């Protein structure tokens, strides 16, 4: 999951940076002659260009996975849900979905900017988009796991921003298709 | 290359800027501590007061980091070009007037639209503030912006008068000739970049502030919410990054006085600063990655440039700092320690920032506590450490003795508590805790309480660093007029 990847990567790289600093601080206590210091200045450009080049492949790879509604990630038969934010509540056109189907949230706002953040029942952020007055952002997501999901507001919108929540249910595909439950 | 032996006496306006920056920093840090205590439920603060504190903390930190960075820039740029004191005084007058109006709008008028004042929130208070308070906030920020305009027009004028053109001041002449004698001093190079970037930022900021002021009183004058976001984040991103680009001049100018090795201006250094000027102006869409209405090319540019823009200046400064201290026999004291710490904070803090600038990761990190985690990292341990180092350096008549137990303890208290504080933000963001929630769910309060402990320690350490230095400056002692470490 991306959160764990981000945390682990950050810790490792930051630790490396810290170790490099500690090494150089330790080396700073003795003074070399000027010739040695001039030599140390020569590798500055090399390190600079090395660091720069190392970033290039990372940039390309990181653009592979994008959440935007592009033709490549469209579903043939999505469930379309209208999601509207206003100070300080959410309105969803339906709140029961089957797992395994692509849900296409059409997200907008009536008044000010809000953030449409979907949390799973372990309070882990699953996906999000902004809810903006005058614009409709299309957020596609396929819920693999049944459960109760919460929508939290992720853009500051005034006094009760922290309390602007709603929830919906994702049911196992077989349950969702039974006649007792709501269909899209 | 930077002269390591002499520096002119600090002018009264620089001393005033520095002292004011120190005191206001402490006050704004206190606001931050109060917010973390409230989220921990160790202190009861109503959501209205919480969001007022949040608004004051945010806009205040941007403004005071700008003032502190301006003190560093003015002091060292003034060694190379003829600056007119009236501009610095006018800037301070506009700053104080703007701050007074902003404080009135927040704590008397109840304005709590966050420092980013995203359109159209100021016009939708839901009973929390009056229209007059919203207008006051916008006018106050505009006044601070007018001060910046005067200040950076003056730095630009002085640079052009001394160097003749931007091309020379930006080091293009040196790039063509390869002759290091054509290289501008670091303070001039950085000062030129910051002046150009901040003037453009002020124009964008003034445009959206004015449009929103009109909209407050003429609602039929509607603005695109997306256009407003673009203007606000362009202005905000450039302004906050410029604080680091100004404050880092303290590293270029002061650290060599401790090591005895001049700060080299070489081709990659000049190229890096020029690249940064371009990239800091176009990277802001990385704040809008979750605005799916943005053009695809713009958000991809936001990610790509957020990867590359973090590199040039940081890399040359990081490598330059390590090379400068390496086997230098540096004299370690609070100033030199904070300067080196600041480059660590900037370098390490960029890591979670770049990661957050990745579109796929931003989708599960945007507007969680990961965001204040990374910006507090490179601001608290980076920019603020640079400013604290400058204030401390300015306050000493003579180079202080090497680290004693007290100074050493204070340094490590600040460094480790700030590190703990920002790591708790990052850990909370990794656990999906949203930012800007006045009330936290019980599941999140454990993180908040650990963070609150660190926050109290940061405030204590900063107070013990700032107050003695400000008292020395206010008492007329200290000048920066010595070759520290020699």
Give the model's pLDDT for residue A33: 62
Question: What interhelical angle do B225-247 and B186-217 show, nearest 10?
Answer: 150
Q: Which residues of B touch A18 (CB under 8 A)?
A: 344, 348
Strand partners, A128: A117
B451 pLDDT band (50/70/90 cuts)? very high
Query: Is the CA virtual torsion A56, A62, A68, A69 positive or negative?
Result: positive
**Tokens 């000739």 — which residue?**
B177
pLDDT band at B8 (very low <50, low <70, confident <90, very high): low
- Are the beta carbons of B292 and A130 separated by less than 8 Å? yes
Q: Do the chains contact at A32 and B359, CB–CB below 8 Å?
A: no
pLDDT of residue B295: 93
Second CATH level (architecture) for the domain B12-474: Up-down Bundle (1.20)
Of the candidates A1, A41, A112, the beta carbon closest to that of B121 is on A112
Which element (helix H / strand E) includes A115?
A: strand A114-119
Closest to B115 in 3D by CA, of B224, B211, B27, B233: B233
Contact A154 B359 (CB under 8 A): no
Residue B51 near chain A (CB below 8 Å): yes
Instruction: Dump pLDDT digits (tens) for B210-261.
Output: 999 999 999 999 999 999 999 999 999 999 999 999 999 999 999 999 999 8
In a 10 Å sphere around its CB, with 0-12 CB exposed, 13-18 middle and 19+ buried, how is residue A76 labelled? exposed
Task: Report the pLDDT value the prediction gives residue B72, as an integer from 0 to 100.
Answer: 97
Which pLDDT tens digit goes with each residue over B325-376? 988 888 899 999 999 999 999 999 999 999 999 999 999 999 999 999 999 9
Q: Which of residues 442-461 of B touch A (CB under 8 A)?
A: 443
CA R_g for chain B: 22
- For chain B, what percent of residues have pLDDT higher than 90? 81
pLDDT digits (tens, 9 = 90+) for A32-78: 765 555 555 556 666 667 766 777 777 777 777 788 887 777 777 89
Mutating which of A133, A155, A163 best tests the B interface, going by the most B Cβ atoms within 10 A?
A155
Query: Taking CB atoms and an 8 Å limit, are B322 and A133 in contact across chains?
Result: no
> Which is higher by pLDDT, B314 or B142?
B142
Under an 8 A CB cutoff, do B121 and A158 touch? yes
Contacts of B256 in chain A (CB under 8 A): none
Put simply, the answer to whether A48 touches B360 (Cβ < 8 Å) is: no
* Residue numbers in B near A21 (CB within 8 A): 322, 340, 343-344
- Judged by a CB distance cut-off of 8 A, whether residue B128 touches chain A is yes
Indicate the DSSP class of residue B368. Answer: B
pLDDT for A37 equals 54
Burial code (b: 16+ CB inside 10 Å, e: under 16) for B114-139 equals bbbbbbbbbbbbeebbeeebbbbbbb
Taking residues A79-105, report their average pLDDT: 96
Q: Is the pLDDT of residue A154 over 90?
A: yes
Mean pLDDT rounded to a whole number for chain B: 92
Query: For residues B30-69, b (16+ Cβ closer than 10 Å) or e, as one string?
Result: bbbbbbbbbbbeeeebebbbbbbbbbbbbbbbbbbbbbbb
Contact predicate B247/B179, CB 8 Å: no
B424 contacts chain A (CB < 8 A):
no
Domain spans, chain A: 2-62, 71-176
The alpha carbon of residue B38 is apart from the nearest alpha carbon of chain A, in Å, by 13
> Interhelix angle for B312-325 vs B267-282, to 10°?
140
The answer to whether B297 contacts chain A (CB < 8 Å) is: no
Which one of B212, B271, B348 makes the best mutation probe of the A interface by having the most chain A beta carbons within 10 Å?
B348
Measure the CA–CA gap between B352 and B357, rounded to whole angstroms.
9
Contacts of B109 (CB under 8 A, 6+ apart): B129, B130, B132, B133, B134, B136, B137
- Please give the pLDDT value at position A181: 38
pLDDT tens digit sequence for B144-176:
999 999 999 999 999 999 999 999 999 999 899
Are B161 and B188 spatial neighbours (Cβ–Cβ below 8 Å)?
Answer: no
Of A24, A133, A159, the CB nearest to B120: A133
- The CATH number of the structural domain formed by A71-176 is 2.60.40.420
Name the helix (H) or strand (E) containing B320.
helix B312-325
Q: B88 vs chain A: nearest CA distance in angstroms? A: 35
Q: How many CA atoms lie within 13 A of A98 on its CB side?
A: 16
Contacts of A132 in chain B (CB under 8 A): 225-226, 291, 293
A20 to B322: CB separation less than 8 angstroms, yes or no: yes
Domain boundaries, chain B: 12-474
Name the more confident of B314 and B278.
B278
Angstroms from B293 CA to nearest CA on chain A: 6
- Compute CA distances B6 → B101, B256, B387, B408, whole Å: 41, 11, 20, 27
Tens digit of each residue's pLDDT (9 = 90 or more) over A98-146 = 999 999 999 999 999 999 999 999 999 999 999 999 999 999 999 999 9
**Residue A104: strand pairing partners:** A80, A140
């Amino acid at each position: 999951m991306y959160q764990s990847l981000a945390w682990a990567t950050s810790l490792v790289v930051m630790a490396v940076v810290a170790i490099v600093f500690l090494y150089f601080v330790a080396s700073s206590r003795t003074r070399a002659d000027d010739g040695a210091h001039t030599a140390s200045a020569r590798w500055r450009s090399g390190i600079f260009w090395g660091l720069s080049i190392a970033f290039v492949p990372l940039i390309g790879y990181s653009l592979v996975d994008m959440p935007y509604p592009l033709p490549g990630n469209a579903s043939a038969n999505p469930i379309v849900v209208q999601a509207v934010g206003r100070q300080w509540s959410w309105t969803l056109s339906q709140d029961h979905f089957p797992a395994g189907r692509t849900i296409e949230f059409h997200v907008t706002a009536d008044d000010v900017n809000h953030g449409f953040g979907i949390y799973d029942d372990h309070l882990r952020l699953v996906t999000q988009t902004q809810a903006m007055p005058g614009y409709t952002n299309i957020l596609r997501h396929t819920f693999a796991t049944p459960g109760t999901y919460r929508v939290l507001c992720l853009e500051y919108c005034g006094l009760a921003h922290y309390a602007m929540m709603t929830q919906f249910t994702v049911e196992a595909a077989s349950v969702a298709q039974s006649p007792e439950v709501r269909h899209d | 290359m930077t002269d390591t032996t002499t520096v002119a006496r600090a002018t009264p306006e620089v001393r005033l800027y520095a002292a004011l920056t120190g005191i206001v920093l402490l006050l704004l840090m206190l606001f931050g501590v109060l917010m973390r205590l409230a989220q921990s439920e160790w202190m009861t603060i109503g959501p209205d007061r919480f969001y007022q504190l949040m608004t004051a903390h945010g806009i205040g930190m941007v403004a005071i980091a700008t003032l502190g960075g301006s003190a560093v820039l003015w002091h060292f740029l003034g060694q190379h070009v003829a600056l007119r004191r009236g501009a610095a005084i006018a800037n301070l007058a506009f700053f104080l007037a703007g701050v007074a109006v902003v404080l009135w709008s927040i704590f008397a008028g109840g304005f709590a639209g966050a420092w980013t004042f995203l359109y159209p929130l100021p016009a939708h208070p839901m009973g929390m503030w009056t229209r007059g308070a919203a207008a006051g906030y916008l006018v106050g920020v505009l006044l601070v912006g007018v001060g910046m305009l005067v200040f950076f027009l003056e730095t630009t004028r002085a640079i052009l008068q001394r160097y003749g053109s931007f091309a020379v001041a930006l080091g293009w002449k040196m790039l063509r000739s390869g002759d290091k004698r054509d290289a501008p001093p670091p303070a001039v190079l950085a000062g030129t970049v910051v002046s150009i970037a901040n003037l453009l930022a002020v124009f964008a900021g003034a445009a959206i502030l004015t449009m929103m002021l009109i909209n407050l009183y003429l609602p039929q004058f509607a603005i695109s919410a997306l256009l407003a976001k673009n203007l606000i984040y362009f202005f905000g991103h450039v302004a906050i990054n410029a604080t680091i680009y100004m404050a880092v001049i303290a590293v270029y100018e002061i650290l060599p006085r401790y090591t005895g090795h001049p700060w080299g201006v070489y081709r990659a250094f000049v190229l890096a600063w020029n690249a940064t000027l371009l990239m800091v102006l176009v990277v802001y869409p990385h704040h809008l990655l979750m605005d799916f209405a943005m053009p695809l090319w713009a958000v991809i540019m936001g990610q790509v440039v957020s990867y590359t823009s973090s590199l040039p200046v940081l890399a040359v400064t990081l490598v330059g700092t390590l090379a400068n201290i390496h086997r230098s026999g540096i004299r370690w004291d609070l100033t030199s320690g904070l300067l080196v710490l600041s480059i660590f904070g900037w370098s390490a803090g960029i890591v979670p920032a770049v990661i957050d600038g990745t579109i796929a990761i931003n989708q599960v990190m945007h507007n969680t506590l990961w965001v204040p985690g990374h910006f507090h990292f490179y601001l608290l341990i980076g920019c603020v450490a640079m400013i604290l180092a400058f204030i401390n350096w300015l306050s000493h008549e003579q180079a202080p003795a090497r680290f004693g137990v007290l100074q050493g303890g204070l340094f490590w208290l600040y460094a480790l508590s700030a590190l703990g504080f920002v790591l708790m933000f990052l850990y909370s963001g990794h656990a999906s805790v949203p930012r800007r929630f006045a009330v936290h769910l019980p599941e999140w309060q454990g993180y908040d309480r650990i963070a609150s402990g660190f926050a109290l320690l940061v405030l204590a350490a900063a107070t013990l660093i700032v107050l003695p230095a400000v008292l020395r400056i206010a008492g007329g002692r200290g000048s920066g007029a010595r070759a520290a470490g020699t």
